[in-house]
Amino acid sequence: MAPPITINFPSHTGVDFVPTAHHDTYEAVNPSHADLAGKVVLITGASKGIGKGIAIAYAQAGASGIVLLARNKSGLEATRKACLEAQRPGQNLVVLPLSVDVANTKEVQAALKEVEDTFHRLDIVINNAGLLDNSKSLGDADPTEWWNIWSVNIKGVFNISHAALPLLIRSSEGLKTILNISTIGVHALTEGLSAYQTSKLAILRLSEFIQMEYEDKGIICFTLHPGLIATDMAYQLPEDLHVIFVDTVEIAAHSIVFYTKERREWLGGRYISAQWDVDEFSAKKDEIVAGDKLKVRMVV
């Protein structure tokens, strides 16, 4: 286990919303405690990094079907093999890797049709795919690159959610959960990250819309900060920021399994963090619901 680490983020970012912050996995979120037999999970950005870790964690949690979406075919194959190696004895896991650009509406629609034909159900969607700025101020940014970040981070989440909703709704006794990956950075202003931070902030609001419009259909949609993880994408940031990458892939992946392994209606429309201790966080449920906390609001 990694030693305790203090990260100097302002209180309004939620960094100290619960007393204990984790930076590596721990027993309460161990995916071996879950039982997702019969359940099908779709993960975007699944060819490497956090997405690959999430897929492996769902295999460890006993999922019967895992759909892997990304553009990198060789990366998808590596994740597929890792999932099969991680499955439980006798699990008979089916892994469906699909090379898809989440910003391409037709490709996404075709992929979800293949999911339906293969599994006839869908229980959990993890919108993990994302892009990051190259740390240039807005005036120096390439407009095509800037908007491409929004295309992946927002259009991608829209495309996947839009195409997946009918199958999620029809899955009888399903978990019907959409988890969108955001970041603690939405609560801050970091020079050179105007596309990334604004698009990730928009994901919080989009998640609230999905929750509001489809709650009566049984859908649960919320966002999660996965932690500060040293992925290839994170290392695009200036070197002086690399010191903040203190979290493991497993703290994100295992926490995601924990929060989606059963229906948690009270999380609908909210922002949560993989760093928060799950027992301490769950103990604040009544306070969170009564105060309608962890949503985007203007302070007046």
Q: Which two tokens stand for residue 221?
A: 């949609």
Residue 187 lies in a domain: yes
Q: Which pLDDT score, from 0 to 100, does residue 5 have?
A: 40
Instruction: Please report the pLDDT score of residue 158 as a whole number.
Output: 98
Catalytic, 136? Answer: no
* 12 inside domain: no
Q: Which domain holds residue 202?
A: 20-290
The catalytically annotated residue of 52, 155, 176, 200 is 200
Per-residue pLDDT, 2: 41
CB 204 within 8 A of CB 223: yes
3 is a domain residue:
no
- Token representation of residue 20: 């204990």
Whether residue 139 is contained in a domain is answered as: yes
| DSSP for 66-112, written as a single string | EEEEES-HHHHHHHHHHHHHHSPTT---EEEEEE--TT-HHHHHHHH
Active site (annotated) includes residue 106: no
In a domain, 14, yes or no: no
- Flag whether 300 is in a domain: no
Please name the residues in contact with 98: beta carbons below 8 A apart, sequence gap of 6 or more: 67, 68, 69, 76, 111, 114
- Residue 129 maps to which CATH number? 3.40.50.720
Catalytic residue (choose from 58, 196, 259, 271): 196
Domain count, the chain: 1
227, part of any domain: yes
Tell me whether residue 83 is in a domain: yes
b/e per residue, 58-75, with b = 16+ CB within 10 A? bbbbbbbbbbbbbbeeeb
pLDDT tens digits, the chain, 300 residues: what are they?
A: 444 444 467 788 888 999 999 999 999 999 999 999 999 999 999 999 999 999 999 999 999 999 999 999 999 999 999 999 999 999 999 999 999 999 999 999 999 999 999 999 999 999 999 998 888 899 999 999 999 999 999 999 999 999 999 999 999 889 999 999 999 989 988 888 899 999 999 999 999 999 999 999 999 999 999 988 766 665 566 565 656 667 899 999 999 999 999 999 999 999 999 999 999 999 999 999 999 999 999 889
Prediction pTM value: 0.94
